[in-house]
A and B are shown apart, each in its own frame.
Chain A
Amino acid sequence: MIDIPTSGKASASSELGRSLEASSGRIFSRKARLSFYNRTFRIVCIASAVFVCVILFSILFLMGRTGVLTFETVSVKDFFFSTEWVPENDQYGAFIFIFGTFALTLLTMVISVPLSVIIAVFLSEMTPGWLKTALRPILDLLVGIPSVVYGFLGLTVLIPMLRTVTGTNMGDGILAAAIVLTIMVLPTISRITDDSIVAVPRKYRDASYALGSTRFQTIVKVVLPAARSGIMYAVILGMARAIGETMAVVMVIGNTPQLADALFKPTSVLTSNIVMQIANVPFDSTWNYALYLMGFILLIISLLMIVIVRLLQGRGVKA
């Protein structure tokens, strides 16, 4: 036990020093034990960090190594630029899926980012306090809903709705998937944007109002630019979630290997194609390797996004 006398800080630290020196009758002195604990804790922390890195890199390595085997039978050009995905006839063109993934993510962002930013501005700038405390937990809860639930609602509610509204035959396609994904990433993007807007110092707003700006001018010209790096961070987190999402997408996208050149045309993306086929593929086959390679491409895309997030965090407006 460390006994801290009430007389003052200086005497407390000298007391602590003496208690470190004093042997308490055990084999090791208190000082030796403390430094042993400190060093052990340090080693445990470093080991954990190294462990995580090892896991990440071994996943990358194994996926990459298995994926690269694809190129034993399929040429790089065919894999990345051919639109013929007919594994039954040894045709492995993944362009459809790579294109579909980017198209879907882009469409999702086009719908979700403006909506999320408006929600965030409303939450942070216009809502009275009691409503804020009610709305924020609701948005946080939305993040936790399993994606398969979103997918099922998309399949049973959204798609019949799209069908009646637009008069198409099926309704499956990237628009349906983008709407489902938008609902999924809205809470993520709007909550992080909300936080970054709240973090903008009050003096910026005060200065803007003092110059005679309206509330709209203040928000659009001052607050949003000041929170830009936080908003970018939110957008990229949302994108990463949209790119990797599988269960919800597979239920509404139609899963047909054809190019997504229309909003209502059953198509396929990297994630949905992997999950549709991986269970039914012979273990050591080009088909299996091609699916691994597609997974590897997805991983690389997410890693790139994380790198971009880091770069953006480095820059950005600092208060």
Chain B
Amino acid sequence: MKRKWLKGMALTLMALAVAFGSVSSAGAASKLSGRIVVNGSSALLPLTLQAANEFKKLNPKVRISASAAGSITGPQSVRKGIADIGAVDWDATKDVPGFKKFDGQVAHKVAVIPFAAVINSGVGVNNLTTAQLQGIFSGKITNWKDVGGSDADIIVVNRAFGSGTRVNFQMKALAGKDFMTKGSNYKEVKSSGDMKTAIETTPNAIGYIDLVYVTSKMKAVKINNVAATEANVINGSYKVWGYGYYMTKGQPTGATKAFIEYVQSKKFQTGSLKKLKFIPISAMK
């Protein structure tokens, strides 16, 4: 008796699923519908949320849910099938320091994110070369006087392993050289917000952060005599920046494809994206 009832229920459900499936695929030509799950980088989350809001206004039948737990969770969620789009701060189809590439995924550039090496505003240093940055972050240079500052110990603040900001900074500013891992003047923080607080409140501290987070209470140093500004990123003289990517399992289809295209569209790139202080991908050659 119970068996029969269950079977009937299952059949009804299947029928319903088939019906809805056909409806959505038939309706795709005229009006998009479906559900998009975005997970991954917290740096890209504001951009994703803004884009989702605008996209939902244009396509009311599409539901988008976005969350962020860190760059590496993006492509991982896509591989596990938890998310349709994995937001990540590096090209996860290639090997980067510490992380293997993700096979079978396609990377879509969605934004340009500039990063800055930042120091506490009390430090009297304005410019650092790549070699000096490498020395400081690997723990070989431990005093500010060695790089032209006053006689004070350098306090190095680093992001935890797996942070997209950390991967980009290591690749672009340190030319791939390793970070130090311990020491009495070394600490790690969990997020960009914690980095900001740590640099602002710790005398003689150095760290790195997304350019948009730089406040008046900290100083973005010039790297190899080039100031960290959006203009210098666009004209190609400031090298410490990275693309933000949306990863998908294979080529995207349906609503997911339309959403990524919307984020890459000129309207969004030069409008809301710029307002959020990202740089449009079209600005880079």
- Chain B 153-191 per-residue mask, 1 if CB under 8 angstroms from chain A, else 0: 101000011110000000000000000011111111110
- Judge whether A170 is part of the interface by a CB distance below 8 angstroms: yes
Partner among B153, B163, B183, B194 whose Cβ is within 8 Å of the Cβ of A280: B163
Contact A155 B163 (CB under 8 A): no
Contact B161 A277 (CB under 8 A): yes
- Chain A 232-267 per-residue mask, 1 if CB under 8 angstroms from chain B, else 0: 000000000000000000110011111000101110
**A250 with B187: in contact, given A88-B98, A160-B201, A256-B182 (CB under 8 Å)?**
no
Contact B185 A169 (CB under 8 A): yes
Residues of A within 8 A of B187 (CB): 170, 172, 254-256, 266
- Judge whether A275 is part of the interface by a CB distance below 8 angstroms: yes
Residues of B within 8 A of A266 (CB): 184, 186-187
CA distance A250 to B71 in the complex (A): 20
Contact A86 B181 (CB under 8 A): yes
- Judge whether A53 is part of the interface by a CB distance below 8 angstroms: no
Residues of B within 8 A of A265 (CB): 184
Partner among A159, A275, A277 whose Cβ is within 8 Å of the Cβ of B162: A277
Number of interface residues of A (CB under 8 A): 31
Contact B202 A170 (CB under 8 A): yes
Chain B interface size, as a band, is 20 to 34
Smallest distance from the beta carbon of A183 to chain B beta carbons, Å?
A: 19
The residue of chain A having its C-beta at the shortest distance from the C-beta of B162 within the complex is: A280
Residues of B within 8 A of A262 (CB): 184
- Judge whether B131 is part of the interface by a CB distance below 8 angstroms: no
The residue of chain B having its C-beta at the shortest distance from the C-beta of A268 within the complex is: B188
- Chain B 245-272 per-residue mask, 1 if CB under 8 angstroms from chain A, else 0: 0000000000000000000000000000
CA distance A255 to B160 in the complex (A): 9
Residues of A within 8 A of B129 (CB): none
- Judge whether A156 is part of the interface by a CB distance below 8 angstroms: yes
- Judge whether A281 is part of the interface by a CB distance below 8 angstroms: yes
**A170 with B181: in contact, given A256-B188, A275-B190 (CB under 8 Å)?**
no
- Judge whether B114 is part of the interface by a CB distance below 8 angstroms: no
Contact B161 A87 (CB under 8 A): yes
Contact A255 B72 (CB under 8 A): no
Contact B76 A276 (CB under 8 A): no
Smallest distance from the beta carbon of B103 to chain A beta carbons, Å?
A: 14
**A256 with B183: in contact, given A88-B161, A280-B163 (CB under 8 Å)?**
yes
- Judge whether B204 is part of the interface by a CB distance below 8 angstroms: yes
The residue of chain B having its C-beta at the shortest distance from the C-beta of A86 within the complex is: B181
**A279 with B69: in contact, given A156-B197, A169-B155, A251-B194 (CB under 8 Å)?**
yes
CA distance A94 to B185 in the complex (A): 22
- Extra contacts besides A255-B190, A258-B183, A280-B73 (4): CB < 8 Å: A257-B182, A275-B190, A279-B69, A282-B72
3 nearest A-B pairs in the assembled complex, by CB-CB distance: A280-B162, A279-B70, A254-B187
A-B contacts, 27 of them at CB < 8 A, read A156-B197, A159-B201, A169-B185, A170-B155, A170-B184, A170-B185, A172-B187, A250-B190, A251-B194, A254-B188, A255-B188, A255-B189, A256-B183, A256-B188, A258-B183, A262-B184, A264-B184, A265-B184, A266-B184, A266-B186, A266-B187, A276-B190, A279-B72, A279-B162, A280-B72, A280-B73, A282-B76
